[in-house]
Structure 1
Amino acid sequence: MMEGNATAGAVTPSQQFSVADLVVVVAYFALNVGVGIWIGASLFASSEGSGLFIGLAGTGAAGGIAVAGFEWNATYALLALAWVFVPVYISSGIVTMPEYLQRRFGGQRIRMYLSSLSLLLSIFTKISTDLYSGALFVQVCLGWDLYLSTILMLVVTGLYTIAGGLAAVIYTDALQTLIMVLGAVVLAVKAFNEIGGYPNLEEAYLKAVPSKIVPNTTCHLPRADAMHLFRDPVSGDLPWTGMTFGLSIMAMWYWCTDQVIVQRSLSAKSLSHAKAGSILASYLKMLPLFVIIMPGMISRVLYPDLGTLQVEEGPEKTRVSPGFSLSLPCIQE
């Protein structure tokens, strides 16, 4: 009797996956990963434009690695975007951030206010700097006029954005991310080879003093804490208190509520795709320290006079031409 019950209750093993089943499962996961890569690459490219490349490298040459805090702080904010903010945005059925505020608080005026404010901030803090730095790069490489280069970039960007919409922007961002990452990695490898590897970076950087200096100041001297991420809250150029607490608030605003960033996540096919994109972007934000900032420090080692090509002295003040000294305070000795 017991044998009969045992036989009746036995479960027949299910048939093993066929090749077709495996292909379907692999294709499903590959599609999820692929869409996540597109979204993540777009999130990364939205912040890593030409302006940030030039700014991070220049600030790294001027003061060391502490500026990487701006990039690494984004890793946590991106995860908060996908796990905290995006579910709220998706459940509310909104398309833009001004629309969310309108639904949350009511009224058309707050929607128009945020739209106008976001547009102005984008023009004066993002678009203008990216256009200038991009046009400057074209001018240096090709010798074209700065204004002509700016107009050309505006026309090209406008054409593919109008023709393809947000999809064209995201695909273009993904392509730009691939080009930027590969190019930055190649540059970093060559830069480290020039100075004999990473172990020589700190020693070589601290010796990178230009031949033209500002008398009785510290503008031209490399910072002694160049290899420190967390710096003194009083004497540090990027104090750890501000980088830890103040920057976290700013990062939360930029990565979780800014329309340019949020619209990338809202364009994902599902919440899982948005989360995958945020995870990839978080990993990519760890790269600038090694492929942008440190090569910028190496540029100071290889070209120590690049930041102080012109020194003008007068009875009231001393001015150093733009370069490494921009982020270093001129302290009278």
Structure 2
Amino acid sequence: MSQDYSYFGFSYINRNAENDAKNTTALNNAADISVIVVYFLVVLAVGVWSMVHTNRSTVGGFFLAGRSMVWWPIGASLFASNIGSVHFVGIAGTGAASGIAIGGFEWNALFAIVILGWIFVPIYIRAGIITMPEYLKKRFGGQRICIYLSLLSLVLYVFTKISADIFSGAIFIQQAFGLNIYLAVIALLAITALYTVTGGLAAVIYTDTLQTFIMLIGSFILMGFAFNEVKGYENFEKLYMQAIPSITGNISANCYEPRPDSFHLFRDPVTGDLPWPGLVFGLTIQCIWYFCTDQVIVQRCLSAKSLSHVKGGCILCGYLKILPMFLMVFPGMISRILYTDVVACVDPDECEKHCGTRVGCSNIAYPKLVVELMPKGLRGLMLSVMLASLMSSLTSIFNSASTLFTMDIYTRIRRSASEKELMIAGRVFILALIGVSIAWIPVVQAAQSGQLFVYTQSITSYLAPPVAAVFLLAIFCKRVNETGAFYGLIIGLCMGLSRMITEFIYGTGSCAIPSNCPTIICGVHYLYFGLILFVISGIVMLAVSLMTKPIDDKHLYRLCWSLRNCTEERVDLEMDDWTDNQDSNSVDSDDDEPGFLKKAVMCFCGLETKKAPKLTKEEEEELQRKLTDTSEVPLWRNVVNINAVILLCVAVFCHAYFG
């Protein structure tokens, strides 16, 4: 028998000798260890290379990679930033539990990615912004919307993205290797912070590119092993519908039998677990928020050297987003076929025996497949894939959250901060996020319920739709003003929090143990709720704006779609206080030559002072013109446009074929 041990309140399983001999549940062979060590050495080498070859000593260099990135690392970074360990664990687990509909979350994003590259990013570039709250400040003026969005984004980062990624990565480590979760996650976060703090966005993008390559190789290999076990796709469909656990107790058959619509994307609008109107309309709102207004994603696009490279990166990311259905959802479903009594367990005692939780073990579908199917060496590669996806998502979140804090919050606390001080503040905030993330681990583990992906998506549905509404109206309706936008956001926030807090109080329950949450509050599917929230928030924004004074066009040049091509000089509603003061404070008052130790630390963290000749007014105007230039070479504009049409056709075909 295996024995349970506990350290710092975290349990892990000490595998018995028989399992160790099979090398299926412990990292105890030279091949696996060697692969992982080589992987980390390569990642650190890429991070060091990006430190040496990129400019990290300015705001633009650290946060936007000097706006010098080309399309292929941008596309790879967009994909890697989006696809984290929560997808390998959460999406594969949901696929094991209910079929392919969860893959629609990935394919729906193809439309939002095209909208990002062709509509939103051109406006952001012309506006000359670094962060999303900064755009809203230029568009509406005032401080409260900017501060609201910055704080909401940081809350969403901590309680959905960071917590979900860490928890899903911890599930993989615990199930596959029997390691102490707490120490493993701390080490992982430490390495992640190392090249994020030191390298800036360029390091994040280059390491994302490497890790995308690793993820795809490992996932394709595992998919091949999995389909080989079930003898092809047709047999896979038949066997999945027969994957019923042997121990069911007195629980209803609906809780453990595969759904009749398991191989359909579009499900009943009333009884479906993912109703098709919610998948088509409600999910689209989430995708627009995530891909078009979220700092993590948009920041990568703003680092591109031209608009054509932005669009090319979006196209590459879109093609890669077709793969998760085949690389994650299908293998998760095959895991249910091969290990039915474990992955599809429904009896609480059986589930607790297999994975430590009484509400289901579908989350271990992908780790179980890795442990049981992969040979030595390749198992180490798959751990590298999981670590790569986890670290990729975390580095993206840490860097983007640091940008939000530094540019939108810290500059209000320290209005006369020098550029070096902003760089230090950004890096220190990353370290603070590490601390918060570690402190949140016990909370996430205690909340384990087998509904990880539903948890993250539902939280997003409760908080994000008003933000999507304000960005869409900001770009497409110049009549919307600050007052309307603010009250729409606040009313939307109150509605979302009322649903979210109620669910936290009553719990979401499970098929076997339903929640007691009042139907009038929790009875509406979270995708429907997000759609309703979006509509109500938008109506409030429009209504209040129409009853109050409009914003003059002179303040909106190149900030709205209808005024995107205006060449007149824009009069900002409020000048940025930091911009006004940076020239007089950006040079360190201490002109003494730093010592060797200080110089080494400054170089490592990208804080070295580089004295550049002061630009003339004409040179500054030319630099600003280049940074806000959205012109494209006709040939490449046609190439990316044709690829966008092809991508959208592929998306429609996938939905129709599996619908």
**TM-score of the superposed pair, with normalisation by structure 2:** 0.43
Structure 1 CA distance for aligned equivalents of residues 264 and 171 of structure 2: 31
Instruction: Determine the C-alpha separation between the residues in 2 that align with 1:125 and 1:234.
Output: 27
Give the aligned partner of residue 237 of structure 1. 273
Matches within 5 A, 1:1-333: 35-217=70-252, 218-307=254-343, 308=345, 310-312=347-349, 320-324=358-362, 326=450, 329-330=511-512
Q: Alignment length, in residue pairs?
A: 294
Mark the CA change 1:243 to 1:171 in structure 2 (over 3 Å): closer, same or farther.
Answer: same
Q: Please state how far the C-alpha of 1:283 moved relative to its aligned partner.
A: 0.7
Partner SS for 1:229: coil
The amino acid across from 1:311 in the alignment is P
Q: CA deviation at 1:309?
A: 7.2
Question: In the TM superposition, what whole-angstrom CA distance separates every residue of 1:89-120 from its partner, at most 9, and x where no partner exists?
Answer: 00000011011111111122322221111011
2:260 is matched by which residue type in structure 1?
A: A
**Counterpart residue type for residue 87 of structure 2:** L
Which SS does the other structure have where 1:168 is aligned?
Answer: helix
2:185 alignment partner, SS class: helix
Q: Is the 8 A contact 1:214 1:311 kept in 2?
A: no
Distance 1:238 1:214, change over 3 A: farther
Q: Give the letter for the 2:135 counterpart.
A: Y
Higher relative contact order (CA 8 A, sep 6+): 1
Q: 1:85 to 1:214 in 2, by over 3 A?
A: farther
**For each residue in 1:73-102, what CA deviation from the matched residue of structure 2 results, as whole angstroms up to 9, or x when unmatched?**
110100000000000000000011011111
Cα distance, 1:312 vs. partner?
4.6
Q: What is the SS of the residue equivalent to 1:305?
A: helix
AA at the equivalent of 1:230: F
Q: Which moved more, 1:37-46 or 1:303-312?
A: 303-312
Q: How many angstroms apart in 1 are the aligned matches of 2:131 and 2:283? A: 24
Q: TM-score, normalised by structure 1?
A: 0.84
Distance in 2 between residues matched to 1:58 and 1:163, nearest whole Å: 35
Give the conservation status (yes or no) of the 8 Å contact 1:213–1:220.
yes
Pick closer, same or farther for the CA change 1:223–1:240 going to 2, 3 Å. same
The separation in 2 between residues aligned to 1:331 and 1:97, in whole angstroms, is 41
Are residues 321 and 331 of structure 1, via their aligned partners in 2, closer, same or farther at CA, if it must alter by over 3 Å? closer
Deviation, 1:216, is 4.3
- Describe the SS at the equivalent of 2:70: helix
**Per-residue deviation at 1:226?**
0.5
Instruction: Quote the Cα distance in structure 2 between the aligned partners of 1:231 and 1:330.
Output: 22
CA contact (8 A) 1:70 1:247 kept: yes
Contact 2:92 2:330 in 1 (8 A): yes
Secondary structure, counterpart of 1:263 in structure 2: helix
| CA-CA distance at 1:305 after TM superposition | 0.7
| Cα-to-partner distance string for 1:265-314 (whole Å, 9 max, x where unaligned) | 0111111111000001111111011111001000000000113275359x
C-alpha deviations, 1:178-212, integer Å up to 9, x for none? 11111111111110010000111110000001111
Match of 1:286, SS state, is coil
Give me the whole-angstrom Cα distance separating, in 1, the residues matched to 2:198 and 2:170.
23
Shift of residue 214, structure 1, vs aligned partner: 3.8
Contact kept, 8 Å, 1:212 with 1:311, in 2: the verdict is no
Structure 1 residue 168: Cα displacement: 0.7
Instruction: Give the Cα separation in 2 of the matches to 1:247 and 1:114.
Output: 21
Give the CA deviation at 1:320. 4.7
Structure 1 residues without counterparts, runs of 5 or longer = 1-33, 314-318
Compared CA separation, residues 60 and 121, structure 1 to 2 (3 A): same
CA distance in 1, matches of 2:359, 2:281: 33
Give distance in 2, aligned partners of 1:36 and 1:46: 15
Say if 1:132 and 1:150, in contact at 8 Å, map to a contact too: no
Deviations 1:156-182 (A, max 9, x none): 111100110001111111111111111
TM-align CA RMSD: 2.0
**Mind listing any 5+ residue stretches in structure 2 that lack a counterpart?**
1-68, 351-356, 364-449, 452-509, 515-659
Asked if structure 1 preserves the Cα contact closer than 8 Å seen for 2:248 and 2:346, the reply is: no
Following the alignment from structure 1 to structure 2, what is the Cα–Cα distance between the partners of residues 97 and 73? 23
Q: Is the 8 A contact 1:40 1:278 kept in 2?
A: yes
| One-letter amino acid matched to 1:297 | M
For residues 225-284 of structure 1, give each alpha carbon's deviation from its aligned partner in whole angstroms, at most 9, with x where no partner exists: 110011111111111010011111111111100001100101111111110000011111
CA contact (8 A) 1:219 1:331 kept: no
SS in 2 for 1:71: helix
- Indicate if the aligned counterparts of 1:214 and 1:220 stay in contact, CA closer than 8 A: no
Q: Distance in 2 between matches of 1:68 and 1:201?
A: 17
User: Structure 1: how far apart are the matches of 2:177 and 2:248?
Assistant: 32
In the aligned structure 2, how far is the partner of 1:320 from the partner of 1:55? 17
Q: CA deviation at 1:138?
A: 2.8
Distance in 1, Cα, partners of 2:314 & 2:144: 32
